[in-house]
Structure 1
């Protein structure tokens, strides 16, 4: 039964430095000091196509004394229809020899293909520790089709499960964190006693399913079938220190808001 700590969820994820980071093609809106710290501490750093533009835009916006401290990506992948010539040049000239991998398959998103590239990279380095988490930085604002595609990729990430350790993929923005709740599993999400009420949601993208939950303002019971076109637990509120959710036969997305103090490491 996995346990998540919401108020200090980022601290827990980042403290062990056994995570990989992936940057998608959206501007970085995380607090600058916070992003630099978690990016530099990642075991593997990857940019996805236009995510390279976002990375260099962020670096160029930092004070002169900070820029040299920001580590370059280890991996860059995608069909490269969004990356600029300048970003590609900088990647090729990087001192750590960023590995650049073209993924042309148009039946998959660059995010999905990027996870496959990361998976292969992890397994090609058999002596290196395997990351327990993949933190994907991407704002949810903008194109709805891209946001839905990203959530679909969370459902497809299970090809990473042949890793010796289960690798959990999280999508993090400046305001939210979301991840996949597997089917037929109980998940425990722990909040601090003095937390304010967090807004959260349990989204059944795959199809009709049921849950048993405790700790929410509007708890779910087995007689409540959740589906698009029917009931969806969105705008729910955490009211207890511990929230437990038992998923039935289908995986779902769990999303929780982040508060500014969550960025204190």
Structure 2
């Protein structure tokens, strides 16, 4: 029998001993292997420069380079924020932007195949980059087949299995089909590329996938920016059954589907985190208070 429980504005949520932990702090201060991807939407994340400083590998997806260029008013500042690579079919990349970044030593990595999207090409570039680095090698754009060389190299990865923290700016906005494709990738890559820990960041939200099973979402170190925030438990991959602890409206044995009931406009009231048990993967969004990060 399902049940909905309304909680006070703050409750303590014990960390389940056998839970898979998702540490939100690592999104904003990643360790070791990490990548920041910029896609073709205006950069509206308030703490963009701070994020840039914390992430090791920076990649612009095609027109994302235009957005990075336009984010700054002067070349003197622009020169402090050079991506490692610009990747994609380059149909959206302005000639003047390409020339400017190329003159500064940024790697231009055309991938003209239309059997992959720019975000997919960027994510495969991330894995290829770290796989080569693990072998003591470099990713050199001039040595990559401009049609689908990244896909070719990705199919021959040498077993680099360390987790890579990836944050994507511009994945959720603009064209609706692009947004849906971005959501689809969260489900698809969780199975095919589980070492990629992917989070989407917008001007208002952090969006990521909650995997099947018992999960603990830990935000203790940045609780001021998350505790009390609005949140949605979104069954975009199919029907799910949820048990939660730490939301304003917790649920027990609660069926949720896109054609039925959805827990939107919920709130995070767990003092340091929340626990979620789900019988299948789903999408969670958390409204961020960037001023308190």
TM-score in terms of structure 2 length? 0.75
Q: Kindly indicate whether residue 122 of structure 2 is the aligned counterpart of residue 111 of structure 1.
A: no
- Counterpart Cα distance in 2 of 1:145 and 1:260: 28
- In the other structure, the counterpart of 1:4 is 23
- Structure 1 pair 102–206 and aligned structure 2 pair: CA distance change class (3 A): same
Report the counterpart of residue 40 of structure 2 in structure 1: 25
Taking structure 1 as reference, are residues 14 and 195 closer, same or farther at Cα in structure 2, changes over 3 Å only? closer
1:23 shift after superposition: 0.2
Deviation, structure 1 residue 131: 6.1
Aligned match of 1:82: 92
Greater CA drift, 128-137 or 208-217: 128-137
Q: Of 216, 222, 230, which residue of structure 2 is paired with 1:199?
A: 230
Q: 1:253 aligned to 2:283?
A: yes
- 1:37 maps to what in 2? 50
Cα gap change, 1:57/1:41 in structure 2, threshold over 3 Å: closer, same or farther? same
Shift of 1:196: 5.2
CA contact (8 A) 1:200 1:235 kept: yes
User: How much is the aligned-residue C-alpha RMSD, in angstroms?
Assistant: 2.5
Structure 1 residue 133 displacement after superposition: 0.5
Q: 1:186 aligns with which of 212, 215, 218?
A: 215
Moved more, 128-137 or 22-31: 128-137
Aligned partners of 2:163, 2:29: CA distance in 1, in Å? 11
* CA offset digits 1:107-146 (Å, max 9, x no partner): x332122211221222121157966310111274432222
Do the aligned partners of 2:225 and 2:290 also contact (CA within 8 Å) in 1? no
The correspondence for 1:213, drawn from 221, 233, 244, is 244
Cα distance in 1 for residues equivalent to 2:29 and 2:67:
21
- Higher RCO, 1 or 2 (CA under 8 Å, sep at least 6)? 2
SS state at 2:52 partner: helix
For the pair shown, the structure with the greater C-alpha radius of gyration is 2
Check conservation: 1:29, 1:139, Cα contact below 8 A: no
Q: How far is 1:25 from its partner?
A: 0.5
Consecutive unaligned residues of structure 1, counting only runs of 5 or more, are none
CA distance in 1, matches of 2:104, 2:224: 46
- What CA distance in whole angstroms lies between the structure 1 residues aligned with 2:185 and 2:216? 20
Distance 1:82 1:212 in 2: 44
Deviation at 1:179, TM superposition (A): 0.9
Q: Which runs of 4+ in 1 moved over 6 A?
A: none
* Structure 2 residue corresponding to 1:228, chosen from 258, 270, 284: 258
Q: Tell me, in whole angstroms, the C-alpha distance in 1 between the residues paired with 2:77 and 2:91.
A: 30
Secondary structure, counterpart of 1:186 in structure 2:
strand
Pairwise CA distance, 1:193: 7.5
8 Å Cα contact 1:112/1:157 also seen in 2: no
1:112-131 matched pairs, under 5 angstroms: 112-126=120-134
Deviations 1:67-110 (A, max 9, x none): 3322x111221222211112222233222x4141314234x332
Consecutive unaligned residues of structure 2, counting only runs of 5 or more, are 1-19, 137-159
Number of aligned residues: 246
